[in-house]
Chain A
């Protein structure tokens, strides 16, 4: 029984369950994680199995319960805090940025905050301009935080355990469009949480991406193969710290890079990665780096506009063809 097929949601739940079983200090806390089963059903059944002390329903008060999580971590517990979606995490950003991320440094290394915060992110469900965004980059900007983006079912299953083993605050982003998809789960993680992984080997162009866009990059790579373009797909997995070594090794091999990122272009992680490539692999490039990001508009409600705002497979294919033609 070395591998199993689970939905992304089930894989997340199995990870939480293992964490609860492994360590008595672990508890899950957030809005509607208990009796309701989680706003996206991730924690369904856990309240019944683990009880109200370990699966804690909170009132609506993001700043409050995230702050309580920071305090509980300081006090020796291992909280898993669920903020329903990244959109609502803005109300808790002060506690995350000004407390969780800084306490170790401000105390001269005396304190640490072993806290994991999970949140859903991403567009695609027609939830409009207050419920659809990808703000991984906000948190990836902050020294003191680590930011994970499990794009595969195996990472959904195992990254939480890796994050809990870390002595510092870790934020995990779970893309809503992955929840219902099924995929293989192994007995353990393929790599440490901070390592980027090559999901598809190739020699002509590196498609660098994470989270909800990995599937699009892999689909594009498949189409490109028929067009005789060999695309390498890099799954970043960890957005802070970035695994620069893997990124540079890939680009040094392929000499071309396209970064696919669901964030808005301006100020995106794609911009950061592009700068890293320019600084460290400039002389290996055969073409300018290309960024495919979300159009600079709050996500609109109608499906055709929402989809038009997001990076799509066809755009990746076209960009790869263009980058191969550029010389």
Chain B
């Protein structure tokens, strides 16, 4: 279960492809939102792809993931199919949450992907609880909790930090510091803007990582994961990053200037890796266009899948509010899904 950092070409190309899948998928999502295929809120991860991709590659299938409403990238990098994610955003029954959750609430038990929490800070105590269950039942798994720097101001953040350290829980906290919580800049929300420092005051290992560099994120994650598995104690990564798009679908971005956005875009995780690979003769233009073509085909297949998905009948409105009676076992989710995937 021990992961090693591979700096070989094949692995870096795989990481590039993962980041590009997220990037192109979300660009298409923005388009589909404009066409009203996707509704509600749509929070794009564009600019932050290196974090999800870097962290996920350090995990095993048994580990648990807790994310926020900005979780398309995490779901993709974790291995949920693009089809089931897009179908969810369409609100169809072949979506990963069977259409009930939408963009902000992607879930997949088979991937130990525990959402999709749209209450800022809400995932943190929950992640500590999953970690407690893993530890007390000797499951040899850890829990990764992703959240934005805005959540650091919430009481639930501090309660979760304290409990995780106090009870020695195997959690990896990943703060995605993209510098803004909606329109509120970090300096306007934190008394101490070094978030890793804040976390370390609870007595846990904490460090800042360049969240625009997928290799750095992966290396830091491997180290963190190893340490958590050895010690059963929490670990904190502050990944410094930037959100290239608005907070959600309705954001005029009056709170930051275009020059700042441009500056960060130039250091973006995708462009950076491509440039490095090319400069070192590890990537041919043709390879890149092949990757792009594969992704394009995957996106088209996801759209077809989502378009063919069913609307849940209104007669089922009150379904899944409570668990079914003990006698009927809960296998329907898995069956529905595999049937759906074959469409």
Contacts and interface: CB of A to CB of B under 8 A. Distances in A.
Contacts of B188: 57, 59
Contacts of A91: 119, 154-156
Contacts of A125: 40
A88 interface: yes
Given A59-B190, A295-B318, A126 B102 contact: yes
A130 B118 CA distance: 6
Nearest to B189: A59
A181 to B, nearest CB: 17
Contacts of B41: 127, 131
Main secondary structure of the interface of A (DSSP, over half): loop
Interface string A43-77: 00000000000000101111110000000000000
A297 interface: yes
A87 interface: yes
A253 interface: no
Interface string A287-304: 000000001111011111
Contacts of B91: 126, 301-303
Contacts of B120: 60, 88
Contacts of A308: 314, 317
A128 B182 contact: no
B129 interface: no
Contacts of A295: 317-318
Which has the most chain B C-beta neighbours within 10 Å: A35, A91, A297, A305? A305
B105 interface: yes
Contact-residue size bin, chain A (C-beta under 8 Å from the other chain): 35 or more
A309 interface: yes
A63 B157 CA distance: 13
Contacts of A275: none
A59 B191 CA distance: 10
Contacts of B102: 126, 128, 301-302
B40 A60 contact: no
B286 to A, nearest CB: 41
B321 interface: yes
A304 B317 CA distance: 10
A39 interface: yes
A129 B182 contact: no
Given A127-B41, A295-B317, A302 B150 contact: no
Interface string B146-162: 00001101111000000
B314 A39 contact: no
B280 to A, nearest CB: 42
Given A59-B189, A128-B104, A129-B100, A32 B183 contact: yes
B255 interface: yes
A36 interface: yes
Interface of A: 31-32, 35-37, 39, 57, 59-64, 87-88, 91, 125-131, 295-298, 300-305, 308-309
27 contacts: A32-B183, A36-B182, A36-B254, A36-B255, A59-B181, A59-B184, A59-B188, A60-B154, A63-B155, A91-B156, A126-B39, A126-B102, A129-B100, A129-B105, A130-B105, A130-B117, A130-B118, A131-B41, A297-B319, A298-B321, A300-B317, A301-B40, A302-B100, A302-B102, A302-B312, A308-B314, A308-B317
Sorted nearest first, the 3 A-B pairs with minimum C-beta distance are A36-B183, A302-B91, A59-B153
Given A60-B154, A300-B100, 10 more contacts: A35-B183, A35-B255, A59-B153, A59-B181, A59-B188, A127-B104, A301-B100, A301-B101, A302-B92, A305-B317
